[in-house]
Amino acid sequence: MDEKPDDRHQSIHATTPVVGSELTFGSVTDKISAIVLKRKTPFGWFVGFAISFALFQLMMLAIINLLFKGIGLWGVNIPVGWGLDILNFVWWIGIGHAGTLISAILLLLRQRWRTSINRFAEAMTLFAVAQAGVFPLMHLGRPWLGYWLFPYPNTMGIWPQFRSPLMWDVFAVSTYATVSALFWFVGLIPDFATLRDRANNKSFRLVYGMLAMGWRGSARHWHRYETAYLLLAGLATPLVLSVHTIVSFDFAVGIIPGWHATIFPPYFVGGAIYAGFAMVLLLTIPLRKLYGLESFITMRHMHNMAKVMLATGLIVVYGYMIEAFFGWYSGNQYERFMIWNRMHGPYAPYYWALILCNGVTPQLLWFKKIRSNLLVLWLISLVVSIGMWLERFVIVVTSLHRDFLPSSWGFYSPTQWDWAMFIGTIGFFFALLFLFIRFLPMISIFEMRTILPEAEVDEG
């Protein structure tokens, strides 16, 4: 769209500036901080926030009802003991991975284009992890006893089972949430100071001032800051792999055909990043338009994100192929039945929809024309998000509902309360996002300044 075909080589190899050339130190600060401090809140914001807040209330209602009546409200039962709850957990936590990848791994790989989207993607990570946490916590049945999951000396004689990946999940996810929150907050500190200095309103100044924790922007501050930020990036990097690897162990260490596959760790991590980038695109494309951020988030960002989505999508497709092939190659009748049942059993439409959404549609991204068309790119991201949800449905439900003994087969369908919880978390997620874009700078101001042409210093 904004690149001539001949520029292709250059755009890929990062020799051209990442952002619009008209930006300067001053205009960057003005433009981003104005969204929070000066610009009138658009009407659309109120509508969007109202809708998502209402959906959030639906989640609260679903939770209250659940606490009164119990897990029986959900569709889970024997043989499908894990239904929408675990699958939504996996879906949400996967979405978070793109944020960590963008903020930590791309930072370490010195991919400077990440700067325009990392703040936003990190916020998305944090909010997605919050949604993910809701499901296992509620599935406990008595969430107020959730602290029993932690190993602490007690008089009840209980101790967590350390050989269970579910236990590792508790540690992995809580570490993930903590590090993501810290990383996000530390990244925000210099920008809090900018907002503090620019706010005309006294209460804004007070709140941003407290959050800025006395930031003065001295050389010593920056020196310490850079070290801390890099260290946090180093800490966050293994989490991109470890969290979803452990989530995949939840399934893979069992002996259920369809769950017990050694390919699961890389396949899950690939899928998580895939879903995450789909969600980042799903959110940035409209936001960029609404707030006029085209010079910050350029077509180059869109291309790069689309390419990451394509690459991770191919990992997932590899997973489907390998699963199907080994289902047959293993020679094990249960493995063979599992694959047959996915393709021809009662949930076959889900399986084929998943192949269509995750396997076929993203192949369009091979074409530059399609990557340049934002509407199509947005639609593909939507399809991928749905596809990743279907993938988890297929993995969780079709593997469980027909196991080794035909006499114990069953069928699972989610109840209205399952759906209420799921839709409610989507509302909660968006409500948090709306608050974020209204009250915090959605693009990192100080990091943006470093990638401007103005910041180029001739070292020679």
**Residue where the block lists tokens 């590899």:** 318
- Residue 224 CA to residue 220 CA, distance in Å, equals 6
SS3 state of residue 164? coil
Both tokens of 48, joined, read 């969007």
Is residue 262 a contact residue for other proteins (CB under 8 A)? yes
Is residue 127 a contact residue for other proteins (CB under 8 A)? no
We find the least distance from the C-beta atom of residue 390 to other proteins, in angstroms, to be 21
We find the least distance from the C-beta atom of residue 255 to other proteins, in angstroms, to be 5
- Residue 14 CA to residue 36 CA, distance in Å, equals 31
* Stretch of 196-204, 211-219, 257-265, 351-359 lying at the interface with other proteins (CB under 8 A): 257-265
Residues 301-320 that bind other proteins (CB under 8 A): 314, 318
Is residue 13 a contact residue for other proteins (CB under 8 A)? yes
3-state secondary structure 100-129: HHHHHHHHHCCCHHHHHCHHHHHHHHHHHH
We find the least distance from the C-beta atom of residue 256 to other proteins, in angstroms, to be 10
We find the least distance from the C-beta atom of residue 127 to other proteins, in angstroms, to be 28
Both tokens of 91, joined, read 């879906």
We find the least distance from the C-beta atom of residue 297 to other proteins, in angstroms, to be 22
We find the least distance from the C-beta atom of residue 87 to other proteins, in angstroms, to be 20
Q: Which is nearer to other proteins, 131 or 245 (CB)?
A: 245
Residues 421-460 that bind other proteins (CB under 8 A): 459-460
We find the least distance from the C-beta atom of residue 53 to other proteins, in angstroms, to be 41
Q: 219-252 and 165-198 are packed helices; what angle lies between their axes, rounded to 10 degrees?
A: 150
Q: Which one of residues 85, 191, 250, 323 is an interface residue with other proteins (CB under 8 A)? A: 323
Identity of the residue numbered 102:
I
We find the least distance from the C-beta atom of residue 134 to other proteins, in angstroms, to be 28
Q: Which one of residues 263, 343, 423, 426 is an interface residue with other proteins (CB under 8 A)? A: 263
We find the least distance from the C-beta atom of residue 252 to other proteins, in angstroms, to be 5
Is residue 261 a contact residue for other proteins (CB under 8 A)? yes
- Residue 305 CA to residue 299 CA, distance in Å, equals 10
Q: Computed from CA positions of residues 424, 426, 428, 430, in that sequence, does the dihedral angle turn out positive or negative?
A: negative
Q: Which is nearer to other proteins, 12 or 64 (CB)?
A: 12
Is residue 112 a contact residue for other proteins (CB under 8 A)? no
Q: Is 96 exposed, middle or buried (0-12, 13-18, 19+ CB in 10 A)?
A: buried
Phi, psi of 281 (to 5 degrees): -65, -40
Q: Which is nearer to other proteins, 22 or 459 (CB)?
A: 459
Q: Which is nearer to other proteins, 13 or 202 (CB)?
A: 13
Residue count, binding to other proteins (CB under 8 A):
37
Residues 327-366 that bind other proteins (CB under 8 A): 329-332, 366
Is residue 245 a contact residue for other proteins (CB under 8 A)? yes
SS3 state of residue 428? helix
Q: Which is nearer to other proteins, 25 or 326 (CB)?
A: 326
For 67-88, the DSSP string reads HHH-GGGSS--SS--S-HHHHH
Q: Which one of residues 4, 40, 110, 202 is an interface residue with other proteins (CB under 8 A)? A: 110
Q: Is 252 exposed, middle or buried (0-12, 13-18, 19+ CB in 10 A)?
A: buried
Is residue 227 a contact residue for other proteins (CB under 8 A)? no
Contact 137, 146 (CB under 8 A): yes
Closest of 127, 93, 140 to residue 242, by C-alpha: 93
Binding site residues, other proteins, CB under 8 A: 6, 8-10, 12-15, 110, 163, 241, 245, 249, 252-255, 260-266, 314, 318, 321-323, 326, 329-332, 366, 459-460
